[in-house]
Amino acid sequence: MIGFGEYQSHGVIMGVVTDFKAASDAAHSALITAEQSAGVKVDEVYLAQSDCHLEGFYNEASVSVSAADNTVSQMDIDTVCRLAKAKALPEGRMVVHHIRRPFRLDGKMVGRNPEHLNGHRMEVDYWTVHGQEAMIANGIHVIRGYDVWVSDRILSSLASGTMMTTWQDRQHGTLVIDIGAGTTDFVLYRDGTPLKTGVLSVGGAHITNDLTLGLRATEGQAEKLKIRHGRANVVTREKSDKVWLNGDFAIEDRQFPRQMIETITSARVTELFEIVKKKLGETLTPDRCPMGVVLTGGSSKLPGMADTAAKVFELPANLGALPPGVDEKLSDPSHPAVLGLLHFGLQNRVDEPGIRRRKSGGLLRKLFTVGA
Amino acid sequence: MSDSPSSNPSARSWRDIPQEITSRAMSRVGRRRLTVRTMRTIAMVVGGLILAGGGFEIWRTLQDNPQKWTATVSSKPVRHIIVETDGVLNQVWVEETLQLRRDIGLRELELYAQRARLLTHQQIKSAVLKLEFPDTLRVTLAERSPVVRLKAQLDGPDLHVFLVAKDGTVFSGHGYGKRAAAKLPWLAGVRLVRAKVGFSALKGMDQVADLLSTARGNAPELFATWQVVSLERLARDGHILVKSSEVAEIIFGLREDFYSQVARLDLIIDETRRREVAPMRSIDLSVGAAQVPVAFNISSSLPPPAILVFPPCNFPSTARHFHRKF
């Protein structure tokens, strides 16, 4: 990693662009900082998606193996994949991701590539993520305003999940929850691939908002109280236990009941986890998710978060840790999504067996990339 | 992770969203980046076209007339030396100076060395040597033109005649015959200092050249009588002394323009001729327009002049030479 840039987000509410200019200015400032930090020009961007309009559904397809000797061919794979993805979307919606689950041959899981295996019936299912076309286009145009190309859009939860879990975690089953400021992304892994993803339009900003209303404090004061005294579970027993807003004994300094702060913050966090649990429904069971819950994102720094998650999901829960070797400056829980994007960008892979990997490099391509 | 649009005809992918946007929709930084990228693309295309055009021309030359290509790269011995000059030097002198081998090839010539050889002669102000394939060397010279001449010892006891240019450069004066050199007045009252090449440039020659060109242009008959120009009092008094066949010492000053002084001199000489007075010993024109002190040779048998000091006069209307000119 040679450069890094960040800038306070503006003009985006719950992952949706609401003020094009403000969002552009913020995104472009981050890009400029990254370019200056790295000393190179950015030509293409991998864009994280954490939009609240994203939804997903399952679609399954099966084909009979066409060869007389029952050997699966590439044509069979292409056909079953095409059928599994061939589902019309409502007007104004478009596909963001087709996440393929492992192939099954005669009801048995066969992994990534069943070609040359013997069987009669091949099945595959896809988790298709789709979103509002206009909102997706807005996100792309914000980036294009800097004259860089959006090479790929990757779900924020997938980016975080890739960085915060190991291959074994994903194989056995784990739930990754990325709690950001405006949205919460989650992904449930099983058999090494994402089983279900989702985006909730609830995040750390809602906890702040609850404190603002509950304590009759300003937004700035509420944010300060959340960071200093907020918890995801209530540990204070004494109602009379109070905390100072600033602790500097100035005239504006006020006292707030600690228990009330913890009650408000924990209520919102508990509710958040319950919504995630409800969204996952029957797909989340202790036997399907033995590796437990991994929490990440800026708001996961709230103390007691893992305990509350464990209590709600009835699963072991812990705060995610980045793999060893990552720069200390990027070890903050708010950065895994960016690191995950970088990981996807470097891999630049397409999970479809029938799809040729896009070639990178080459003089002609570079020429046309420059000239485009 | 994402699908390609072609694999799923029934559902549109985000990749179907056109990423091309107008420059107006871009931010200022984006527009600047786009401009730089466009300029770079244009430069690459133009460079590519130039390379392609050049390659095509070479290919065409090789296809049509390969001899032409080889004839250009291989040179023949130098057969012609064309000399162009604004002075008096000729081709013979140039050939003798360059001392080229008879069979030397055009590409073998070391142009910088040959040019340096020509410039060792102070008479040459600048020289341009140009190869014209297959066998011609074109030499273009700019020469210094002489203003006065002087005699000096070089190495032995013999005195050599040198010419002096307007910029003070002293040179031998190749190509100037005796008759041409005899038209120039002698220079006196200067001290020659040896330099790395020839002599150091003389100071004050631009003023002498100005005086002489004024006299030659406006009073050629008067100028024809001038024999010696002396600079011995130039640095000290700002005077240029001229000895003519009629007056032993004419003193010109630098404070007034030479045109007025020459006009006044012409008038005085005309007046003294008309009155047939004794020959003049000196005329001091450096005093100014109010008065011109004139000294006569009183030992002469002719009568002394009635007027010794000439009053200010409107010389253009009284002097015939100048009246004709203006």
Burial of A207 (0-12, 13-18, 19+ CB in 10 A): buried
Q: How high does pLDDT run on average in chain B? A: 82
Per the structure block, which two tokens stand in for A294? 């991994």
Per the structure block, which two tokens stand in for A304? 């007691």
**Which chain B residues are Cβ-neighbours of A28 within 8 angstroms?**
27, 29-30
- Is the Cβ pair B40, A82 closer than 8 Å? no
Query: CA nearest A269: which of A197, A207, A355?
Result: A207
Q: B262 and B218 in contact (C-beta within 8 Å)?
A: yes
Q: Lowest mean pLDDT: which of A33-37, A66-70, A344-348?
A: A344-348
- A274, containing H or E segment: helix A258-280
Gap between the Cα atoms of A302 and A162, Å rounded = 22
Q: A65 and A55 in contact (C-beta within 8 Å)?
A: no
Q: What does the CA dihedral B57, B59, B63, B68 come to, rounded to 10 degrees?
A: 60
- Strands of the sheet containing B136-143, edge to edge, are B80-85, B136-143, B124-132
pLDDT surpassing 70 at residue B140: yes
**pLDDT-based confidence at residue B75 (cuts at 50, 70, 90):** low
Q: A189 and A294 in contact (C-beta within 8 Å)?
A: no
**Which chain A residues are Cβ-neighbours of B11 within 8 angstroms?**
85-89, 94-95, 128, 130
**pLDDT-based confidence at residue B34 (cuts at 50, 70, 90):** confident
State the CATH class of domain A55-131.
alpha beta
Average pLDDT over residues A325-344: 80
pLDDT of residue B74: 56
Average pLDDT over residues A309-332: 85
Per the structure block, which two tokens stand in for A159? 């980016």
- Give B7 to chain A, closest Cα distance, Å: 7
Single-letter residue type at A287: D
Single-letter residue type at A17: V
- A305, containing H or E segment: helix A305-313
Tell whether domain A204-268 is in CATH 3.90.640.10.
yes
pLDDT of residue B73: 57
Which CB contacts under 8 angstroms, 24+ apart, belong to A211-216?
A211/A261, A211/A264, A211/A265, A214/A260, A214/A264, A215/A256, A215/A260, A215/A261, A215/A264
Average pLDDT over residues A120-134: 92
pLDDT surpassing 60 at residue A367: no
Average pLDDT over residues A70-87: 91
Average pLDDT over residues B222-248: 90
Beta strands in A142-183 (DSSP E): 149-155, 174-179
Q: How far is residue B249 from each of residues B84, B208, B239, measured CA to CA in Å? A: 42, 16, 11
Which CB contacts under 8 angstroms, 24+ apart, belong to B210-216?
B210/B258, B211/B240, B211/B242, B211/B252, B211/B258, B211/B262, B212/B147, B212/B148, B212/B185, B214/B258, B214/B259, B214/B262, B215/B258, B215/B262
Domain limits, chain A: 55-131, 204-268
DSSP 8-state symbol, A147: T
Average pLDDT over residues B185-202: 87
- Is the Cβ pair A87, B7 closer than 8 Å? no
Evaluated on CA atoms A243, A246, A247, A253, the torsion sign reads negative
Gap between the Cα atoms of B92 and B244, Å rounded = 37
**Ranges for all domains in chain B classified under CATH 3.10.20.310:** 73-143
DSSP A220-258: HHHHHHHHHH--SS-----TT-EEESSSS--TT--EEEH
Share of chain A above pLDDT 70, in %: 93
pLDDT surpassing 50 at residue A364: no
Query: CATH for B73-143, among 3.10.690.10, 3.40.50.2000, 3.10.20.310, 3.40.50.2300?
Result: 3.10.20.310
**Which chain A residues are Cβ-neighbours of B1 within 8 angstroms?**
97, 99, 152, 154, 158, 344, 349-351
**Which of B102 and A166 is assigned the larger pLDDT?**
A166
Average pLDDT over residues B139-154: 89
**Which of A355 and B98 is assigned the larger pLDDT?**
B98
pLDDT of residue B3: 41
Average pLDDT over residues A297-325: 90
Which residue from B minimizes the CA distance to A133?
B14
Query: CA nearest B94: which of B104, B80, B106?
Result: B80
Average pLDDT over residues B217-223: 89
- Is the Cβ pair B26, A86 closer than 8 Å? no
pLDDT surpassing 90 at residue A308: yes
Q: For strand B146-153 and strand A255-257, is the pairing parallel, antiparallel, or unpaired?
A: unpaired
pLDDT of residue A370: 31
Return the residue matching tokens 């080229």: B100
Average pLDDT over residues A270-285: 92
Q: Lowest mean pLDDT: which of A154-163, A338-347, B137-146, B261-270?
A: A338-347
**Cis omega before residue B134 (within 30°)?**
yes
The closest CB to that of A137, out of B10, B11, B17, belongs to B17
pLDDT of residue A233: 92
Query: CA nearest A229: which of A270, A262, A181?
Result: A262
pLDDT of residue B102: 80
- Is the Cβ pair A141, B25 closer than 8 Å? yes
Q: Lowest mean pLDDT: which of A198-212, A340-354, B103-117, B120-134?
A: A340-354
pLDDT of residue A71: 92
Which residue from A minimizes the CA distance to B13?
A95
Return the residue matching tokens 């998710």: A289
pLDDT of residue A371: 29
The closest CB to that of A95, out of B12, B31, B40, belongs to B12
Residue B89, phi then psi, degrees to nearest 5: -65, 145
**pLDDT-based confidence at residue A90 (cuts at 50, 70, 90):** confident
Average pLDDT over residues A189-210: 91
